[in-house]
Structure 1
Amino acid sequence: MRLPTFRRTVFAAVLCVPMMAVAGLPAVAHETQGADVIAHRGSSGVAPENTEAAIGKAIEQGADFVEIDVQRTRDGKLVNFHDCTLERTTDVEQRYPGRPSYRVSDFTWRELRALDAGSWFHDTYAGEPIPSVEQVINQVRGKIGLLAEISPCDHYTGLPDDLAAELRAAPGYLRQALASGGLGVQSFEVEDAKRFHELLPEVSIGVLDAERPTDAELTELSEWADDVNPRYTVTDADLVERIHELGMGVNVWTVDEPGSMREMLELGVDGIITDYPQSLTQR
């Protein structure tokens, strides 16, 4: 992850001691060569995604950043949840049967807090709640960097404004996170990323892409974006080199297989977004 152009640095973390990271998943023995380890929805390979438990694991494992997903409840609370609807990772259908819609935005904050967002992963996480963005900020401050993704769910409007307001409202957080280089925002939606950049240009802003961006797209993004964050399967040496030539960083997603981690590091990416940060940190 890179800071905005006027404060840009590359964070180094040389981690090369081989060991078993988690049962069934080999550790990656290498030097990360300055690449940030970014825990995808927390350490979501070993704890239920986007919960305080998963974020806590990422902190324990020594990740540089935790990546979260920002959505908004019916009554205006920003929450950390990935899917546009709640069925996959909560007990919403059992708790609120017969609702016409199970979108996150159709529920109040009080209703969401009553959901079990952990049992789907394992019984030991039964009762794990959905956290608010405010709670995430309080959990990560001073411990780990934060990479917040503005949800691409297409029924939302104004999420960049809401996220900027939330970050400003957290007492002392924005100043502290910027000073340490521990805050970034990303989005699949170019207009949402650009809007957030207009509101808080001092915060590193990245654009996610599932496809390989064209050179014209990269050139246009380089006028205001700090990072281009492509899917690792469309990323090669030429793409990384071109993004760097244009002065932007590259954070690839979602890289879970050790061989792919090594390949991305050899390409010189600036960050690896992974469900298994412990494979890179060896913790």
Structure 2
Amino acid sequence: MTASFRPRFAPPALAALLLAAAALPASADALKTLHGQAPLVIAHRGASGYLPEHTLAGYELAIRMGADYIEPDLQLSKDGHLVAMHDTTLNRTTDVASKLGARNGGYKVSDYTLAEIKQLTVKPTGTAKTSYPGFTPSSANPLRIPTFDEVLALAKSQGALTGRTIGIYPEAKIAAPAMEDKILASLQAFGYGRSSDKVFIQSFSLDTLKSLRAKQDALGMSIQEVFLGNTASASFSDIAKWVNGIGPSITAGGANAVNQAYIAAAHAAGLLVHGYTFAQANPEPAAAQYGKYLGWGMDGVFSNYTDLAYNARAELLAAVPEPESYALMLGGLAVVGLVARRRRKTMA
């Protein structure tokens, strides 16, 4: 039986300590990740298995469930604004057909202005619903399409609330210089720019990532980049000349099949491995799936079910020998627990 703990409503101080513990490096032989650190929980399109994808509500729920990073896919509106949307069209996930109708024979994001896009409501897809038990979003319009800046602002505000830094993992969905420029401008405006910042920029286009790297160099930026494309088309050592990591599909086959040897080879070239997409909703088979890839040393998982990924990582870390730094962290947890017990006695 797998654990069913969901870190939904942990007190901010306690949640911060738990998540900080996950960031500590484990002993060298304990974890097979590239840097010996705990693998990352990346909220794929937000908590998209529970709430509509790419919404402020979905991102916030993922943060409440313990996500290290939230992932906004980015498209450009007709008037040049970055919006969080996976598809190049609006009709799969919104009510655009009934509210605005088609443009130029279709529903391309690039055919609608930001003001028009802001009129739309994002619909649940797959197993998602419009609400989640016990969760009330803090945003005024939690199921509308957010801009990239709104996602960044949410990460900052939730970081202040939870006492931990919320990472951002944007994807440039189209290969366009204008998108590259706007992504970097928004990140700069919110204070991101160093390799140590909790940001990864991802793309299926290696040319886009090369262009972004050159622009980052010119701007004095060094944000990490991740290639999502076909890694069989180039050696890991060649890919590592341009990016910091790769994002392979866990359902790929052939030369792109993700297994222990694949991850080890990527690590040997100095590449992080963040696999996508962990979409199993059933806790027990999900735990087995996470356990396999995390056991192989995968550095991060893109998951539709943030709580299940969080639980799987917790189980992995529970089996890891604790270095001395964990003793200090556990001491902090004990103090928080003692204070909480005293408060309950005082209120009784």
Which TM-score band (shorter chain)?
0.7 to 0.9
1:84/1:225 CA distance change after superposition, 3 Å: same
Q: TM-score, normalised by structure 1?
A: 0.81
1:123/1:138 CA distance change after superposition, 3 Å: closer
Equivalent position of 1:76 in the other structure: 80
The answer on whether the counterparts of 2:6 and 2:65 sit within 8 Å (CA) in structure 1 is no
Distance 2:266 2:228 in 1: 13
Is 1:261 matched with 2:283?
Answer: no
Letter in 2 for 1:129: R
Is 1:205 matched with 2:225?
Answer: yes
Is 1:237 matched with 2:257?
Answer: no
What is the aligned counterpart of 1:145 among 164, 167, 178? 167
Equivalent position of 1:114 in the other structure: 119
Is 1:249 matched with 2:254?
Answer: no
1:102-159 per-residue CA deviation (whole Å, 9 max, x = no partner) reads: 111111000000001136653549982000000000001234100011104x6x4531
Query: Number of residue pairs matched?
Result: 251
Equivalent position of 1:27 in the other structure: none
DSSP-derived class of the 1:254 partner: strand
Distance 2:260 2:233 in 1: 14
1:48/1:123 CA distance change after superposition, 3 Å: closer
Question: Could you say what the CA RMSD is over the residues aligned between the two structures, in angstroms?
Answer: 2.5
Identity value in percent: 29
5 Å-filtered alignment, 1:14-93, equals 18-19=3-4, 34-93=38-97
Q: 1:198 Cα shift?
A: 1.6
5 Å-filtered alignment, 1:99-178, equals 99-100=103-104, 101-118=106-123, 121-124=128-131, 128-141=143-156, 142=159, 143-152=165-174, 156-170=176-190, 173-174=191-192, 178=194
1:114/1:19 CA distance change after superposition, 3 Å: same
Distance 1:229 1:105 in 2: 26
Write 1 or 2 for the structure with the bigger share of helix: 2
DSSP-derived class of the 2:71 partner: strand
Equivalent position of 1:228 in the other structure: 246
Structure 1: unaligned runs, 5 residues or longer: 1-16, 23-30
1:220-256 per-residue CA deviation (whole Å, 9 max, x = no partner) reads: 1111210011011320111111111111100000013
Equivalent position of 1:95 in the other structure: 99
The answer on whether the counterparts of 1:55 and 1:66 sit within 8 Å (CA) in structure 2 is yes
The answer on whether the counterparts of 2:303 and 2:309 sit within 8 Å (CA) in structure 1 is no
Letter in 1 for 2:296: L
DSSP-derived class of the 1:252 partner: strand
DSSP-derived class of the 1:253 partner: strand
Write 1 or 2 for the structure with the bigger share of strand: 1
Letter in 2 for 1:195: S
Letter in 1 for 2:172: I
Give 1 or 2 for the bigger CA radius of gyration: 2
Structure 2: unaligned runs, 5 residues or longer: 8-30, 133-140, 160-164, 252-256, 281-285, 315-348
